[in-house]
Chain A
Amino acid sequence: MTKGVGEFEQLVLLAVARLGEDGYGMTVRREIERRTGRAASIGAVYATLDRLERKGYVAARTGEPTPKRGGRARRYYRLEAAGAENLLVARRNLDRMWEDVDLGGEAGRA
């Protein structure tokens, strides 16, 4: 059985999934900010990625250093099968819970 993940962990996992080959700390942070308006801190993003890595939901590899980064290498993250499965389960559970719930127009406005 896969263990449930928190909301922020889901956002990070989804950002990694969306970014494909281009997922690393900065792009993950920006992706979340761009899509949800949540200005997460880079530290929180890394703390979460680290947790997800230890759970086996994402895998990391070291990329290339660039001068713009002051010669520091990137650390790319890729979604693992367990991570994908966890996201799908979370989504299915949420969808089921949302069925027939009406909180008064929130969906209509979107």
Chain B
Amino acid sequence: MTRLPRLAVLVLGRLLPASHREPLLGDLAEEYADRVESGGRVRAARWLWSQVLRSVVPAIELRFASPRVLLPVARKDSIMGRLLQDLRHALRLIRRGPGYALVVAGTLSLGIGASTVVFSVVDGVVLNPFPFPEPSRLVGVGSEFPRAGLELNFWENLSPAEYLDIRDGTRALRDVVAWDMGNRQASFGDVTDNLFTAFWWGDAFPTLGVQPVLGRGFTAEEIRRGDRVAILSHRVWETRFGGARDLVGGTVLVNGEPYTIVGIMPPRSLIYGTDLWLPMTVAPEVFPRARRQFQVLGRLAPGATLAQANTELAGLAARVAEDHAAALPEYRDWRLVAMTWADINVRFLKPAALVLTGAVAFVLLLVIANVANLVLARSTSRRREFALRAALGAGGGRLMQQLLTENVLLALCGGALGVGLGVLGVRGVVSALPSVSVPVPGEIAVNVRVLLFSTLVAVGSGLAFGLLPALRARRSDLQATLQEEGHGSTGGSRLRLQRVFVGVEVALALVLLVGGGLLMRSFMRLQAVEPGFQTENVLTMRLTLPRERYSEDRIEPFFRELVRRVEEIPGVAHAATATQFPPGVFQQRRVWIEGAEPADEGTLPTAYTTLVSPGFFEALGIPLMRGRLLSEDDLPGAPIVAVINEVAARRFFPDRDPVGGRFRLSEPESGGPWVMVVGVVGSTRNRGLDSPAEPEVFASMRQVPGGNQFFLLTRTRVDARSVLPDVRAVVRGLDAQQPVYAIQTVREAYAARASTRRLSTLLLSIFGTLALLLAALGIYAVVSYAVSQRTREIGLRMALGAGQPDVRRLVLRQALLPVLVGATVGLAGAIALGRAMTGLLFEVSGVDLVTLASVTAVLLGSALLATYIPARRASRLDPLGALRFEQSGH
């Protein structure tokens, strides 16, 4: 069944009176359905929106003309009666001269649309990212290990022992839980899904402050015993079990093993789209103290503050360092930091969000300045109308009310259009955001608060720009106005005000353009960075083999066979497996270099450690610089070998040949094996293009067991995505139950990393361009108005012998003065903005002369053009005609 788009129903439904809402929308629905059937959805939608837009004014008319509304208040002198009269007058004016209304409403809709988009997204992503009560009391605990070169981090940052220290050693935090994320296969009938899963020590419900819709959270007993119990997300409960109320107590197969369902999460995804919660299977005491792969979450105890929690954590960290730093030197100077969960998740987005919010506020100011300009010009041409009405008995207040009604009506039209633009914009922006920065997918929409905000802005600006001319209308003196010849003093002061507006507009536009320009240059720099390997045509996906069906000794053979079969697919050049690949390399470990005694001070050596199949380097196209690559002959039992990247070679073996050098991946006391370097490969930008290459060591997964999760990397000679069905078929052929997930090409992975940056660059560039257009429009309007004001004067000058160039110069000089003043102020603002933006920029200084110069040139050029057109018109005036010119009321 074809249904009307919700937005159409919303727009017209709100405007129409109740008596006509149903039949009109019904008619639209009926014809829309017919048109979808006969001409397709695209053409039908085009027709529909043209109908909706063109029905806006008649709908307002209907609402106020309807006798059901009109009759009880029809007395002309009642407030309502006067308002209706004004509205009808305003509608008539709009119909007669739609150009002005279109420009004002259009300009406003751009400003309101832009602010709706930015505030909706900032609200959804930064201000209120999680649907938890009292979000300011939900905190995560981060750790910093300066001695290991590890900055403050909140992910996979704490060990089970440290979790217990925090849980038992702080009073300001309660309901402290530790958790980890992973993947599990859940079977529903004969369908097996890969579900993103969270594993908990503790009951997360009180920590998050939410109640399960059904059942309960995990009990301490269940966690201690490692019971097979599970909690499902609301969406899985609905899609897979149809929301059955009796599901709690039932069974779900997780990795083929039966688990008892004890609870259902409330609607909306709670933590990063995890659909399945399981208790951690092992007690925290089992893990070594340095195994840091967990996150810790807690809630501030009643009455406790974040500062108190941090003081306690600082004391705790000092005690732990005292007890354990001898064995674990990274504890020296380590820090524990509590931060609100919301802040942790948005701390990298916040600077961009702030800049965009500031930018959109500027756009809004520009829009208001511009509209005020238009209104001022307009009211000049209507002075006679006002004077006449005043002469016929309309009081000053009455005229003011009418002007306000007109302007608020225009503002509301602009607001409605703007919200429409905003809805589309929010959808576009959300689809462009990387999924990891959207904590609760599907939650970001134009919400009521934003709608309210937009309406306030629209009505507020309507009042603001309606007020000035209204005040003037009130003061206008009938006789002077009717006799005025077009060069009176009111015209002069109005012009001064407009010049101020032009200056302000130029300043705002310059700041925005510089912001956009800086981000754009920074983005171009980033695109020019060499990733260090061949990024095109590599398909990647992840497989997690369930431990229940795959013992340790079956994992590597499975992946070896997988690689062999994938390489037989036509179009595939190489295949390989790895625990991680650039740009998403994250597993960092301490290394102990043979012959390099760790200095007491200074950073302990760390490296990203990646387990790979021997074909990894060919598959990614990473060049060999020295020695050899890993080979099929590096087998278990033989000495363990590794390949390191150039950065690691320089840092760990600064003054000797790294090939033949040895290092350990665990404490010397633990007696772990030595690893021998056999080769050096080129460094890749393993943490993303905007970070320098970090030391990385590669060992063969045949020699070093690496868990049960691997990425399959497939280098193709054809389009990488085109081999996906064949690869899936190969996996099914090996194990029909085995899902693959996290499917993306390396190119897509890089694009996703840059997407936040790309988005803020795009938005700010759009805002900058918008600002340039608005400023040019404003300048044009003011200069045109000034020329029309001075027609007689120009005519006189020309009659007295001034040539065309003289006139042009006169007009240009007068017009460009506010532009230059505005540009100077704007430059100062732009430099301040650039400083504030330093954190967002990549290899571009906040005060970038190229950007400043080119942006100023573009702006001045546009200003010159906007001035030149009316200046030329003035210089071509016929002197005699100009002298006879009398400004006539229209």
Contact = CB atoms under 8 A, between A and B. Distances in A.
A73 B27 CA distance: 9
A4 interface: no
Contact of B26 (A29, A43, A54, A70): A70
B20 interface: yes
A43 B55 contact: yes
Contact of A46 (B20, B30, B67): B20
Interface stretch (A61-69, A83-91, A97-105): A61-69
Interface stretch (B57-65, B573-581, B620-628): B57-65
B26 A73 contact: yes
A5 interface: no
B4 interface: yes
Band of interface residues on A: 20 to 34
B742 interface: no
A75 B58 CA distance: 18
Contacts of B51: 41-43
Interface centre among A42, A47, A75 (most CB of B within 10 A): A42
Contacts of A46: 20, 23-24, 58-59, 62
B30 A43 contact: no
A100 B592 CA distance: 110
A24 interface: yes
B25 interface: yes
B23 A73 contact: yes
B4 to A, nearest CB: 6
A90 B81 CA distance: 33
Interface string B552-571: 00000000000000000000
Interface string A51-83: 100100000001001111110111100000000
A41 B66 contact: no
A3 to B, nearest CB: 16
Given A26-B27, A26-B31, A68-B33, A50 B62 contact: yes
Contacts of A54: 67
A50 B26 contact: no
B30 A42 contact: no
Contact of B29 (A29, A30, A51, A69): A69
Nearest to A69: B26
Given A70-B3, A70-B4, A74-B23, A42 B65 contact: no
B1 A25 contact: no
A4 to B, nearest CB: 19
B86 to A, nearest CB: 19
Contact of A72 (B26, B54, B59): B26
Contact of B59 (A43, A65, A70): A43
Contact of B27 (A25, A44, A62, A65): A25
A47 B3 contact: no
Interface string B28-46: 1111010000000000000
Interface string B334-368: 00000000000000000000000000000000000
Given A41-B54, A43-B55, A72 B33 contact: no
A68 B30 contact: yes
B833 interface: no
Given A43-B57, A66-B30, A69-B29, A50 B23 contact: no
Contacts of A25: 23-24, 27
| Most chain B Cβ neighbours within 10 Å, of A24, A43, A47, A72 | A43
Contacts of B726: none
A70 B66 contact: no
Interface string B776-812: 0000000000000000000000000000000000000
User: Looking at B23, B28, B50, B54, which has the most chain A CB atoms within 10 Å of its CB?
Assistant: B23
Nearest to A76: B23
A65 B58 CA distance: 24
B322 interface: no
B56 interface: yes
B735 interface: no
A68 B58 contact: no
Contacts of B848: none
Contacts of A50: 20, 62, 65-66
Tell me what chain A mostly uses at the interface: helix, strand, loop, or mixed.
helix
B23 A75 contact: yes
A41 B58 contact: yes
Given A50-B65, A70-B4, A24 B27 contact: yes
Given A42-B51, A43-B24, A46-B20, A72 B58 contact: no
Contacts of A41: 50-51, 54-55, 58
A30 B4 CA distance: 19
Given A24-B27, A42-B55, A44-B55, A72 B62 contact: no
B460 to A, nearest CB: 28
A43 B25 contact: no
B22 interface: yes
Contacts of B55: 41-44
A73 B59 contact: no
Contacts of B31: 26, 29-30, 42
Question: Which interface residue of A51, A54, A73, A75 has the most chain B CB atoms within 10 A?
Answer: A75
B22 A72 contact: yes
Nearest to B17: A50
Contacts of A70: 3-4, 25-26, 29
B442 to A, nearest CB: 24
B587 to A, nearest CB: 54
Nearest to A49: B20
Contacts of B65: 47, 50-51
A68 B20 contact: no
A47 B88 CA distance: 13
A43 B54 contact: yes
A73 B22 contact: yes
A41 B31 CA distance: 12
A73 B19 CA distance: 11
A45 to B, nearest CB: 8
Contacts of B3: 70
A63 B460 CA distance: 42
A74 B55 CA distance: 18
Contacts of A65: 26
A27 B28 CA distance: 11
A31 to B, nearest CB: 12
Contacts of A30: 31
Contacts of A44: 54-55, 58
Contacts of A26: 27-28, 30-31
A74 B26 contact: yes
* Among A66, A70, A74, residue most surrounded by chain B Cβ atoms (within 10 Å): A70
A47 B61 CA distance: 7
Contacts of A66: 30
A46 B24 CA distance: 7
A78 to B, nearest CB: 14
Contacts of B54: 41, 43-44
Across the A-B interface, give the 10 residue pairs with the lowest CB-CB distance, nearest first. Answer: A43-B55, A72-B26, A43-B58, A75-B23, A41-B54, A69-B26, A26-B27, A47-B58, A25-B27, A72-B22
27 contacts: A25-B23, A26-B27, A26-B28, A41-B55, A41-B58, A42-B27, A43-B12, A43-B24, A43-B55, A43-B56, A43-B57, A43-B58, A44-B58, A46-B20, A46-B23, A46-B24, A47-B61, A47-B62, A62-B23, A68-B1, A68-B33, A69-B26, A69-B30, A70-B3, A70-B26, A72-B23, A75-B22
Given A41-B54, A43-B51, A74-B26, 16 more contacts: A24-B23, A25-B27, A42-B28, A43-B12, A43-B54, A43-B56, A47-B61, A50-B65, A50-B66, A69-B30, A72-B23, A72-B25, A73-B26, A74-B23, A75-B20, A75-B22
